[in-house]
Amino acid sequence: MNIRTLGRSIKEGVRGIARNRMFSLASIGTITACLFIFGLFFFVIVNFESSVNKAESSVGITVFFTDDATSEQKTAIGDKIRARREVSEVDYISAAQAWAKYKKESLNPELAETFGEDNPLDKSDSYTVFLNDVSRQEGLVNYILTLDGVRKVNGSQTEARGLASFNSLIGLVGGSIMVILLAVAIFLISTTISMGISVRREEINIMKLIGATDFFIRAPFLIEGVIIGLAGALIPLLLLRVLYIRSIEAIQTRFAVLSNILIFLPVNEVFKELIPLSLVIGVGIGLAGSYITVHRQLRL
């Protein structure tokens, strides 16, 4: 396609939208409605996934050493654990730190004073290991148990499996809902654009009779579909951005208790993914709907 043909296609595409305002507005409205609903589900899914991921990152395992483990062995154990890809953080807890924490959280001051300078948790120093993928906890535990100098590993298998299953469920449900919405959007857009192009069947037939190529006929309609899809994607993005910001503000000001439980992702972080995704879907739907319907007309 040369520049002249491209300019003509864009011009004719814009004219087509203007000539068929009702069909064009119906198509834009359909894309807007579908992508708005898509965006709402996207908000819920990404924030749920973020909450689950934060919960996963707080589930750690504790590695205890044998009584005869040397400082060099303990350092080597820590280095080997940090080298694992599923590990996000490794913290060393000394025996003194473990005893201080236990006294603060589990003993009353009078009972703690009876121990004096003694540390009943002597030789109980350990590593606390956090994972970036809690579903791989069992494999990591089995690996750590094979290292020299490791006596015991305490893990949270029940919590890990529960969080992993819940995360998979969120992904499955979210993916299914999005696929259904996209299928509905494509069907509605295809039907709407088909009605609009059917009105111009005579125009297409005349162009074919005078020798116009299929590409020359198809290009303006494809441009029209792209413009409709782009407009149908931009409108819900603007509405969704305002809605997301206002919703967060409302929850933080009116429901202070919930604001401590529900931690929302920053608006820029959410829309960094939503904007390109919505634009691709909107333009893709408009382009696909136009291509399918024009191709059908050209075969008549």
Encode pLDDT of 67-111 as tens digits: 888 888 888 999 999 999 888 888 888 877 776 776 666 666 656
Determine the structural domain holding residue 98 and report its residue range: 60-155
pLDDT digits (tens, 9 = 90+) for 139-151: 888 898 889 888 8
186 and 243 both lie in a single domain: yes
Q: What is the 3-state secondary structure (H, E, C) of the chain?
A: CCHHHHHHHHHHHHHHHHHCHHHHHHHHHHHHHHHHHHHHHHHHHHHHHHHHHHHHHHCEEEEEECCCCCHHHHHHHHHHHHCCCCEEEEEEECHHHHHHHHHHHHCCHHHHHCCCCCCCCCCCCEEEEEECCHHHHHHHHHHHCCCCCEEEEECCHHHHHHHHHHHHHHHHHHHHHHHHHHHHHHHHHHHHHHHHHHHCHHHHHHHHHCCCCHHHHHHHHHHHHHHHHHHHHHHHHHHHHHHHHHHHHHHHHHCHHHHHHCCCCCHHHHHHHHHHHHHHHHHHHHHHHHHHHHHHHHCC
Instruction: State the average pLDDT over residues 233-250.
Output: 90
CATH code of 140's domain: 3.30.70.3040
Instruction: State the average pLDDT over residues 231-251.
Output: 89
pLDDT digits (tens, 9 = 90+) for 5-56: 677 777 777 777 777 777 778 778 888 888 888 888 888 888 877 776 666 6
| 75 in a structural domain | yes
292 and 205 both lie in a single domain: yes
Q: What is the pLDDT of residue 238?
A: 94
82 and 141 both lie in a single domain: yes
| 163 in a structural domain | no
37 and 91 both lie in a single domain: no
